[in-house]
Structure 1
Amino acid sequence: MILRLSKCYTLLVLLTLGCIHLAQAQLTDLARLEYSFIPSSKSEDQYTRLRASLNYPIKIKNKDYLIIGGEYNRILLNLEDEYSFNTHQLKKLHVIDFSLGYTFKTSEKWRLGIQITPRIASTLTSKLTTDDMFLNGGVFAIKDRRDAKDIDKPYRLVLGLTYNSTTGVPFPLPFVSYFRRVNEKWSYSIGVPKSNVKYFFNEKSILQTFAGLDGYFANIQQPITVNEQVADNISLSVALGGLGYEYCFTKHLIAYSYIGYTFLLSNHLRDDNRDNVYKLNDLNAFYFRSGIKFKI
């Protein structure tokens, strides 16, 4: 039963992390720079991620937009513990997304969004191959009433279907996200990969509690043999919670920081079928993420 739950948890993380770029940004994030850090407990191992993304909307007509974008993640794995195999090629992982999206109004209250995201996720220690390439995407219906003047509690609802080739699931899975502004001081958001409750000191200074998912999946270009098994992929899946703070310099420019602790962590080398080959350090640890973003 524990093994089944672990596989379901890992599948959920990989699915959502691979497909939520359009829904997570809600078609509003134009640029983002971010730094994440997880030091392993009772270990010298560390995980660091540097992330940069850029989206460029092109107005087609009225409120219809074509969105061309990209995102780059450099993942630095400082595997300082003693391992029975060479970890040198695992020190740097690269996740590169190229995205093409289209969003259009279907009514005064609803908007549809479609996105296709080819991805390169690999150690990139040799020539690029098809094993380094993945295809993600999604279709989303968005009802955004955050700026509505005719309701007391503004909200946003996102319903969708997402597909992620890294999970091995050959069909789309559902996606749901819901945000509600309760009053001047409080709001909440329920969904995946992140749920939160926010307290507004004012419209510029915001404190929140959160729970969410993080992680990655990448191809190992030079497979590693461990205990007579071959590891072709590496993945990290994390469930975490903590506190966050946002400061809005302007309506569009926002700085943010999150600090928390992981309560589920799955860090594995995997074979070509995504089955576990070797478990890396999986002790729960401190989590930190900070960055700045520019949104519409």
Structure 2
Amino acid sequence: MSLLMVVTEVAGQEKFSDMIRLDYNINKSDDGVNIYETRIGGSKVFNLGRFRIGAAADLHKFDLDYTYTSQPATDMHFTGTYTLGTEFFVSYAIRDDWFFTAFVQPEIASDFRGDWTAEGFNFGYGGYFTRTWLHTGGATSSLTVGGEYTTAFGKLRFVPIVNYLRKINARWAYAIGYPYTYVSWKAGSNHTLKPILGLNAFYAGVQGWNGYFDDKEAVRYKLSYMSLNGRLNYEYDFNRGWQLTVGVGYTLYNTLDLYRDDTKDYTYDMASSPYISLGVNYKF
């Protein structure tokens, strides 16, 4: 998924936040692989007349726990992967209410064991148009349509982008589609409740083994993970620019697959489970 995907707000401009963030997510069950995600990242945007240019970088660490699985082959238990994702985008205001955005997303994704460069890179890209409206009473809305080649669902694939966002007033807003589906209620100047449908994923090169003893050889695989969760986020704004986020919910769908030469080689035990997320953001 795009690190700087469009969120359209009041004045008819696409908003890409200048921010730094730290997140920790827990996907834990007693009937499958448990996955713990730590992420730190940031983004910066430059306004150049009708153009907006920006960059973002995120470092993810995924820890995998096989305690509650039936997989006996411990040499195929990949305990951790890292993803260093970057994004570079340019957005152009065709008119005051029409925008076009294009982006590329090169990333390194690997367990960094052995010859990790063989399967350790992914390259995503995409583009979309955004149309904005200003409604009676001050409400605003936008429709974004396009597509991307992405690891947002694990294995690289083409995904259509269709997202409708409406800001009803200072307290209420909602979004429907991909990449965002949520309802936002601002309960006060510092407190926001937000039911969300969210995705967590990676597509990383990992090193496994074939054979035994003297015939044992290292083999490079791709590990594909995707989780769809529904959760309720509580967001607390404090000081100037700081935000604390706590989310509690449930994973509706999980999948963890092992690929070799673009062919699925193995599917790991996964199960729906409670989902917890904690985060701190700073917007500047």
Normalised by the shorter chain, which TM-score bucket? 0.7 to 0.9
Q: Paired residue for 2:55? A: 68
Deviation at 1:207, TM superposition (A): 1.0
Q: Counterpart amino acid of 2:130?
A: I
Match status 1:191 vs 2:177 = yes
Task: Indicate which of 186, 191, 202 corresponds to 1:200.
Answer: 186
Report the 3-state secondary structure (helix = DSSP H, G, I; strand = E; otherwise coil) of the residue aligned with 1:129. helix
Report the 3-state secondary structure (helix = DSSP H, G, I; strand = E; otherwise coil) of the residue aligned with 2:5. helix
Match status 1:114 vs 2:102 = yes
Q: Which whole-Å CA distance do the structure 2 matches of 1:101 and 1:132 have between them?
A: 23
Q: Which whole-Å CA distance do the structure 1 matches of 2:41 and 2:144 have between them?
A: 22
Match status 1:215 vs 2:201 = yes
Q: Which whole-Å CA distance do the structure 2 matches of 1:27 and 1:122 have between them?
A: 28
Report the 3-state secondary structure (helix = DSSP H, G, I; strand = E; otherwise coil) of the residue aligned with 2:4. helix
Q: Which whole-Å CA distance do the structure 1 matches of 2:35 and 2:65 have between them?
A: 6
Change (3 A) 1:193 1:109: closer
244-253 or 194-203: which moved more? 244-253
Deviations 1:234-256 (A, max 9, x none): 22221221211112226743221
Change (3 A) 1:224 1:114: farther
Q: What percentage of residue pairs aligned between the two structures are identical? A: 19
Within 5 Å, give how 1:51-200 maps onto structure 2.
51-59=39-47, 61-81=48-68, 83-87=71-75, 90-144=78-132, 151-164=137-150, 167=155, 169=157, 172-200=158-186
Change (3 A) 1:231 1:285: farther
Contact 2:35/2:65, CA 8 A, preserved across alignment: yes
Q: Paired residue for 1:265? A: 254
Contact 1:233/1:274, CA 8 A, preserved across alignment: no
Match status 1:238 vs 2:227 = yes
Greater helix percent: which structure? 1
Contact 2:76/2:209, CA 8 A, preserved across alignment: no
Q: Paired residue for 2:16? A: 27
Q: Counterpart amino acid of 2:103?
A: Q
Change (3 A) 1:106 1:48: same
Structure 2 residues not aligned, in runs of 5+: 8-14, 212-218
Q: Which whole-Å CA distance do the structure 1 matches of 2:159 and 2:122 have between them?
A: 17
Deviations 1:181-216 (A, max 9, x none): 234443211122441122221242111222232222
Deviation at 1:102, TM superposition (A): 1.4
Deviation at 1:224, TM superposition (A): 6.0
Deviations 1:107-146 (A, max 9, x none): 112232221111111111124424211110111223456x
Change (3 A) 1:140 1:288: same
Report the 3-state secondary structure (helix = DSSP H, G, I; strand = E; otherwise coil) of the residue aligned with 1:41. coil
Q: What is the TM-score when the length of structure 2 is the normalising length? A: 0.81
Contact 1:194/1:211, CA 8 A, preserved across alignment: yes
Deviations 1:18-50 (A, max 9, x none): xx223166522532211111112346x421111
Aligned length: 267
Q: Which whole-Å CA distance do the structure 2 matches of 1:291 and 1:118 have between them?
A: 25
Q: CA RMSD in A?
A: 2.8
Q: Which whole-Å CA distance do the structure 2 matches of 1:187 and 1:235 have between them?
A: 33
Deviations 1:52-87 (A, max 9, x none): 11222234x325232122111011112224632235
Q: Counterpart amino acid of 2:191?
A: S
